[in-house]
Structure 1
């Protein structure tokens, strides 16, 4: 019983410690890279996600453009000159990657294995997020009445589902923690 409590407490300390550290670093990054007073400017990572989403949409045959919003902290994404989506800080996958990394660190299993899985998983989450944005933009463009269901239920389910599957893979197959 005492050993189980120590294990749980150690997990929680590593998880919340890692999460807090990464959250504070990301908050500092945002404070230095976003401007929201008279002229809005999203952080470079958010702009990169918008550019990559636009690129993928164009490759798929959709005429798309992006522009920094002048009224809010968002990058507007247009398809055929119709505003379809606003890409905000929460759309860039960094917050989910921070959560993912905190969990992996809490279940760390050797430095090299842990770092490689963090890099692999972060890339997968980032890539799936770009695809998720593109698919939601196409779906909203074609079926605008379904925007609420697509944006609020289906697509968060995709990104959180991928994160959960990566966690499951880590714990069950890769981490090699003593069971």
Structure 2
């Protein structure tokens, strides 16, 4: 697979469903743990939360004074979940990752998942991602778009110089919102 990377200075990869397989029971597991910790029923679909991330769900159902504590507790549970599953690399995303690396293009992984669980999944799938190259949403920065804007500013990139690679309509909408090039795997 060849892709024109001549004007690209920064590549943003999604992780789940792009570089590593997704687990169908991960999102229900998260919502079960969140609901149990809050001791209340909550919407269990990311479409009910503005940024469609784990952090966005936590922020929208948790009082502000409990968010960080709850995020940290659930992150540990999600990392244990990640350790208990088998993760494999996804061919198309990893081919693009190799192509970007071969061209010495600056890249980052931006995920709406928890950082520790994301690093665990990548490692178990045979992808050794440097911790400083993985950006995950959290209670202070619940939006992937906000993280990508930060990375663009840090890298001195204009939107047309950034390629976002993801697997979902949300990834595509985020890229469109920011004026980025997008490739859907």
Which TM class, normalised by the smaller chain length?
under 0.3
Q: Whose relative contact order is higher, 1 or 2, with alpha carbons under 8 Å and at least 6 apart?
A: 2
Q: Which has the higher helix share?
A: 1
Between structure 1 and structure 2, the one with the greater Rg is 1
